[in-house]
Amino acid sequence: MNTTKATRHVNQNEGLIFEKSSPGKAAWKLPPLDVPEVDVDVALGSSARKDLGEMPEVSEIEIIRHFTRLSTWNYAIDLGMYPLGSCTMKYNPRVNEVVVRLDRLANAHPYAPEKISQGAMRILRVLSDALIEITGMDTITLQPAAGAQGEMTGLLMVRAYHESKGNARKKVLIPDSAHGTNPATAAMVDYAVENLKSNERGTVDVSALASQMNEDVAALMLTNPNTLGVFEDEIHKIADILHAKGGLLYMDGANMNALVGKARPGDFGVDLMHLNLHKTFSTPHGGGGPGSGPVACKQILEPFLPSPVLISKPDGTLGFDYDRKQSVGRVRAFYGNFGMFVRALAYIFANGPDGLRQTTEDAVLNANYIRKGLTGTFDLPYSTPSMHEVVFSDKLQNKNGIKTMDLAKRLIDYGFHPYTTAFPLIVPGALMIEPTESESKEELDLFVEAMKSIAQEAQQNPQTILDAPHNTRISRLDETAAARKPILRWKRST
């Protein structure tokens, strides 16, 4: 191992919180009650609870140490490059975290009268306008809680649109390179999924599309750039084929980080799309969420937006319109993940038009730099130009018995988070690398050096890779045992 980035991970032991609990310890203190106490048994009768079982009893310092120690077992963007393809792990600006905690934003009740919610609604409006301009669409809903829910909202709108024309249609076309949420979403809104094969360039096979397209097809769900990081350069033909038979073009905006400020889906024939504010617009991934999945669309789909819709009133104030006859309904309570809106808007302000364009350019520059650095060392199954991410395969390492997940585990020893493994499905043994714009040339050089070093190890000492990671607190975990006899909660051992 010969890169300067390689490092040991923190190794402090820490048990489960339940193992630190003992009766009488406490981290809480309530003020004295200023109203008469209530006899719980009298007030609640048979609904009264007797005790809270094994809930922990610990002091404040123990809680601080517990979670601080746990935190040190996590890798994070703040520690280094996190090149998970299709996840866009970019820097999460700290000013976002400050403004979202401003008292009257953090403590705004969703049902507070409109008169004292104008500031919050102004944030919704300004963010909506910015996202509409960025996507080249006509209107937007911010309600969906994450990308997958955005997809569901979008397909519900597709269905409602077709129903309004008298025929809901039966199926949705999805390329074989698509993210798993796409087919899962289609199933949730009761559309059959029809697979669309990619061509030898890794893009949509336009002639196959033309032959599969008919009046039963409600929409094509297309990720662009697709999961190979390749821009669908025949997008205008794709849109024309769809539209000629009355179908709609839905774009999964997971890879919008390749386009912001450089190209707008609304300009190249997309009818509706979702954005992932936690990817493209820098809201923190938080160990798996929360996200936010606004859906932007063309005017023809506006009547079907989820209810309520933000409106400007004649007196210049903002309000919500709940009276939406053709709406697909509500997809979640209240108005969406407002905290993510605040953060995304702060990010847009920090960038402005020039910053957003430079961001996109740097994201694409970084991916191509890695591609250049690793081509030859790793197999590049599709030579089509890359945008914001590059997908290699483990083919060259297979002959030494090494698979993509093994390489990924070894990369951990070099101090990086692994890339996305084994996806997209059209590339057997995929290494899907998305550096984002947040990496310096120095960090990229270290990454390339680490990957090359691992490739060398694969030839010279494959066992080192198969046993990796070596420098973490724990080694590879037995996932089979975890699934066979699931232990999903702590229980006091008897």
Q: Is 139 exposed, middle or buried (0-12, 13-18, 19+ CB in 10 A)?
A: middle
Nearer to other proteins, 200 or 479 (CB): 479
* Contact residues for 408 (Cβ-Cβ < 8 A; gap 6+): 418, 419, 421, 431
Residue 428 touching other proteins (CB under 8 A): no
Residue 288 touching other proteins (CB under 8 A): yes
- Distances in Å between the Cα of 477 and the Cα atoms of 17, 130, 480, 482 are 21, 45, 9, 9
Q: How far is the CB of 168 from other proteins (least distance, A)?
A: 9
Interacting residues with other proteins between 235 and 274 (CB under 8 A) = 235-236, 259-264, 267-268
Is the four-CA dihedral 354, 357, 363, 365 of positive or negative sign? negative
Interacting residues with other proteins between 394 and 423 (CB under 8 A) = 408-409, 412, 417-418, 423
Residue 119 touching other proteins (CB under 8 A): yes
Q: How far is the CB of 240 from other proteins (least distance, A)?
A: 13
Interacting residues with other proteins between 7 and 36 (CB under 8 A) = 9, 14, 16-18, 21, 23, 26-28, 30-31, 33-36
Is the four-CA dihedral 332, 335, 339, 341 of positive or negative sign? positive
Binder among 81, 89, 275, 310 for other proteins (CB under 8 A): 89
* Residue count, binding to other proteins (CB under 8 A): 206
At residue 109, what is the residue type?
A: H
* Contact residues for 443 (Cβ-Cβ < 8 A; gap 6+): 80, 81
Interacting residues with other proteins between 429 and 468 (CB under 8 A) = 437-441, 443
CA dist., res. 67 & res. 434, Å (int): 29
Nearer to other proteins, 18 or 138 (CB): 18
Which run of H or E residues covers position 223? strand 217-223
Could you tell me where the DSSP H helices lie in 375-400? 395-398
Binding mask 195-224 for other proteins (x = CB under 8 A): ------------------------------
Q: How far is the CB of 261 from other proteins (least distance, A)?
A: 5
Contact in structure between 423 and 85 (CB atoms under 8 Å): yes
Q: How far is the CB of 55 from other proteins (least distance, A)?
A: 4
Q: How far is CA 13 from the centre of its chain?
A: 31
Interacting residues with other proteins between 339 and 378 (CB under 8 A) = 339-340, 342, 346, 348-359, 361-362, 364-366, 368-369, 371-373
Residue 321 touching other proteins (CB under 8 A): no
